[in-house]
Amino acid sequence: MAMSMSHQIGATPLTLETGGVSVEIPAKGSTATSPIWRSQMANLRVSVKKTGAEMDRVSPTPSPPMSPMLGGGGIRPDLSVDSLNIVACQALMEAAPLEAPLEHKMRNLPEKEKGVPVFVMMPLDSVKMDHTVNRRKAMNASLQALKSAGVEGIMMDVWWGLVERDAPGEYNWGGYVELMEMAKKHGLKVQAVMSFHQCGGNVGDSCTIPLPRWVTEEMEKDPDLAYTDQWGRRNFEYVSLGCDTLPVLKGRTPVQCYSDFMRGFRDRFESFLGDTIVEIQVGMGPAGELRYPSYPEQDGTWKFPGIGAFQCYDKYMISSLKAAAEVFGKPEWGHTGPTDAGSYNNWPEDTNFFKREGGGWDGEYGEFFLTWYSQMLLDHGERILQSANAVFEDKGVKISVKIAGIHWHYGTRSHAPELTAGYYNTRFRDGYLPIAQMLARHGAIFNFTCIEMRDHEQPQDAQCAPEKLVRQVALATQKAQVPLAGENALPRYDDCAHEQILQASSLNIDDKSGDREMCAFTYLRMNPDLFHPDNWRRFVAFVKKMKEGKDANQCREQVEREAEHFVHITHPLVQEAAVALMH
């Protein structure tokens, strides 16, 4: 069987000879990804092998040595590496023809009006574990206040761990139905987040909502369903993408579970779709972001601004890496990921792999590994987006995906924290354009965080550069012709943050920007602090400025006066919301 595999930026194909059957893998851009039973090997893209002086820059001998022993018990016979490879080969031979690329399909939605609509994130615990609305009176008063301020709508997490908590395929939408009715009553739109991750352990997590019980039971039986670092530490925030297409969750694949959940949501909330519910944000990793859990805050494992750690040491990821290394002609590279990449709280120059001069990231091994690691993440996004598109087709809703704003050590050559998270972005390579192009193929919105941050506000010894990062992402989405939406990474209520958001959302990045603006902005988050009189006054003015869009003629002083008047006449309502939220 001969496989022709091209690198995503145009390398010459490689050939795998394993027998008499020839299977041609189309070039980049000619196919979309199948969500079920798809061989990881079939989507591998590798780089051209380097020669001469470039060969001297390969990662030092420690990367990679023999794979470390990982804990977690024996391998189930049906999920051994050999059986996985057999299943993968069978799937490749039996798979239906892959769908043609989805060229910027946005579901015939109406053209966006001038200005940037503002949504507000709901509290993470808006629905309680007993499937009822949390602080119902406060919620109602808060939504009324938001609507009066000109807010377009709200974003709410629809937790997998709540809705399908007790048994596979048994969905309890209690609490969410009432929230949707509240939003509709107040004339607010809803961005519904399909939250397939655990709540708890990340920045801003104020409550704990684990994955469904039956999922955690399977992960306890087979710990390799969890992301794993090189020291054997397991991360249970999200099911490892290495087993996306394997029936490891009570006979279903993880992607099938996500698809069935979205289908259940569609069927229950059909009457709200396209009218009240206008966007479905599909969770694809920890914190709902398309990334690996490379910087977990839980138990103090990682602290800002550490570089994080690669998460590719569960047996499913290693099986894929092994197959990729054999295809590349370097089977010795398939036993483990880089082992000279430091630990979670190192800085790039502390490590052989990420250091500026002669770092392994810039050698042949580094290019091979990082291409594989990042492509696995892109493939994961492709699978879930294809499912989401199939479920919500012709329902009048947009699909969006959230990408993390990893701005620390951005000024270094290797961009180590981005690499460990799965974004193959370095000083010499644009890692966000492939993501934007993948989203464009599925007509999805690129939702990006850290929009409120300024470079000078961040620790410069860690070479943080959120403004430069946001600009790079804006250029990538412009080139890929994909809509860009934004969020603030941390709660901010000050004028400096608001001004930065206004500037960033205008997307005035070059002479090709024209009238382009962000398609939406989601404000973090609805809580008592938002309704503090000074914060509320600034927020009302901010929403008005965002709605006016860039190049608005109305002077800022007039906007401030109107906001002051509005705050005065709505004081009783806002005070009621603030008091109710505090109790």
CA–CA distances in Å: residue 434 to residues 369, 397, 420, 440: 17, 24, 17, 10
Separation of alpha carbons 574 and 285, rounded Å: 35
Q: What is the 3 state secondary structure string of 476-487?
A: HHHHHCCCEEEE
pLDDT of residue 287: 95
Separation of alpha carbons 553 and 20, rounded Å: 69
> Which distant-in-sequence residues (6+ apart) come within 8 Å of 326 by Cβ?
16, 334
* Long-range contacts of residues 252-255, Cβ cutoff 8 Å, at least 24 apart: 252/168, 253/36, 253/37, 255/35, 255/36, 255/383, 255/384, 255/387
Determine what percent of the chain falls in helix, strand and coil, rounding each to the nearest 5: 40, 10, 50
Separation of alpha carbons 257 and 391, rounded Å: 13
Task: Report cis status (omega within 30 of 0) of the bond before 210.
Answer: no
- Within 469-550, strands assigned E span 484-487, 521-523
Separation of alpha carbons 302 and 38, rounded Å: 33
CA–CA distances in Å: residue 172 to residues 176, 200, 250, 263, 269: 9, 21, 19, 13, 12
Contact 447, 400 (CB under 8 A): yes
Contact 72, 234 (CB under 8 A): yes
pLDDT of residue 504: 96
CA–CA distances in Å: residue 203 to residues 156, 186, 455, 489, 524: 17, 30, 20, 9, 12
Separation of alpha carbons 120 and 529, rounded Å: 13
Within 10 Å of residue 427's Cβ, how many Cβ atoms?
12
Half-sphere exposure of 443 (CA within 13 A, CB side): 23
Written as six digits, the tokens of 299 are: 């138990």
Secondary structure letter of residue 576 according to DSSP = H
Within 10 Å of residue 528's Cβ, how many Cβ atoms?
16
Contact 449, 403 (CB under 8 A): yes
Within 10 Å of residue 53's Cβ, how many Cβ atoms?
7
Separation of alpha carbons 200 and 321, rounded Å: 30
pLDDT of residue 111: 59
β-bridge mates for residue 193, sequence order:
157, 281
Separation of alpha carbons 551 and 232, rounded Å: 53
Separation of alpha carbons 409 and 404, rounded Å: 14
pLDDT of residue 417: 98
Written as six digits, the tokens of 171 are: 């969905």
User: How does 348-369 read in b/e, with b if 16+ C-beta sit within 10 Å?
Assistant: beebbbbbeeebbbbbbbbbbb
pLDDT of residue 515: 82
pLDDT of residue 3: 36
Which residue type, as a one-letter code, is found at position 543? V
Tens of pLDDT along the chain (583 residues) come to 333 333 333 333 333 333 332 323 333 333 333 333 333 333 343 333 333 333 333 343 444 433 233 333 333 344 444 444 433 433 333 333 334 344 445 455 555 678 999 999 999 999 999 999 999 999 999 999 999 999 999 999 999 999 999 999 999 999 999 999 999 999 999 999 999 999 986 666 668 999 999 999 999 999 999 999 999 999 999 999 999 999 999 999 999 999 999 999 999 999 999 999 999 999 999 999 999 999 999 889 999 999 999 999 999 999 999 999 999 999 999 999 999 999 999 999 999 999 999 999 999 999 999 999 999 999 999 999 999 999 999 999 999 999 999 999 999 999 999 999 999 999 999 999 999 999 999 999 999 999 999 999 999 999 999 999 999 999 999 999 999 999 999 999 999 999 999 999 999 887 676 789 999 999 999 999 999 989 999 999 999 999 988 766 556 677 777 777 777 767 777 777 777 777 6
Looking up tokens 């069935």 gives: 260
Looking up tokens 């994080």 gives: 308
Contact 458, 464 (CB under 8 A): yes
| Dihedral sign, Cα of residue 229, residue 234, residue 239, residue 244 | positive
Half-sphere exposure of 160 (CA within 13 A, CB side): 33
> Which distant-in-sequence residues (6+ apart) come within 8 Å of 44 by Cβ?
5, 323, 324, 327, 372, 375
Half-sphere exposure of 189 (CA within 13 A, CB side): 19
The interaxial angle of helices 571-582 and 136-148, nearest 10 deg, is 150
pLDDT of residue 571: 74
pLDDT of residue 556: 67
- Gyration radius (Cα) of the chain, Å: 24
Separation of alpha carbons 520 and 152, rounded Å: 9
Separation of alpha carbons 148 and 137, rounded Å: 17
* Residues labelled catalytic: 289, 487
What SS3 state is found at 352? coil
